[in-house]
Amino acid sequence: MKKLLSIIFLLLLVCAVYVDFPTDTVTADDEETVWITASGAGQRYHYENCRMLRGDKIEITIAEAQEQGFTPCRVCKEQPEHSVDIQPDSLHFVRVIRIIDGDTITVELQNETRPERVRLIGIDAPEIRHPQRGVEFFGIEASDFTTESLENRHVWLQFDVGVRDRFGRLLAYVWTEKPIDEDNEEEIRDKMFNARLLLNGYAQVMTIQPNSRYADLFVEFQREAREEGKGLWGEEEKE
């Protein structure tokens, strides 16, 4: 009897080793954002600068795309990662390829490489596609302003102490012209897009440590916009 039980135990142990049990674990890649066409044509999902992505586009995660039966595009799947070494306090010349909303953009650091999403430091513009809050007051205006100012343009990204957030996005100050003196207030007002959003009332100050190089100046810019009734400060939110 003992011998029989030993044999059964060994068989169960062997089965446990070879059986591939299902798992519901979601990886970081599953949460990565991709794009599909609104019509669902081709049943492929694409990265943001894929030349095969045409027409109206819908932004979803890889996990959602796979659940709906979409498979990776063969063209953009082969795009290599960029080799740019991004360090704190560095400055990089990039091309803006898409606007997500008033304070978030997508850039190409090197030609024919996978793009990076960039969240502007020190500010917070109203949302236009928040999963709970939807389109926030003055969100469309802020997004349109950023689109008109930056889309398809070359800009300079300036990094602070922390170069990425917990979502993997780059965190940067965006300069529309290369600064001569990064701490000169006149240059910041004229050339830094983060500052322009505040000065024109399209965003509010949001300081998240350790990225606070221009925090005091940004508070002053917001105060000016509020006193002058610019942008969201000059409008009353409608119920």
- Report the catalytic residues: 119, 127, 169
CA-wise closest residue to 97 among 52, 155, 57, 164: 155
Query: Please, what is the Cα angle at 74 between 71 and 79, to 5 degrees?
Result: 115
CA-wise closest residue to 110 among 97, 98, 101, 120: 97
As to burial, measured by CB atoms within 10 angstroms (0-12 exposed, 13-18 middle, 19+ buried), residue 65 is buried
Q: Which residues of 149-174 are buried (b: 16+ CB within 10 A; e: fewer)?
A: bbeeeebbbbbbeebeeeeebbbbbb
Q: What's the rounded Cα separation, in Å, for the pair 108 and 117?
A: 9
Within 13 Å of residue 193, how many CA atoms lie on the same side as its CB?
A: 33
CA-wise closest residue to 66 among 102, 93, 26: 26
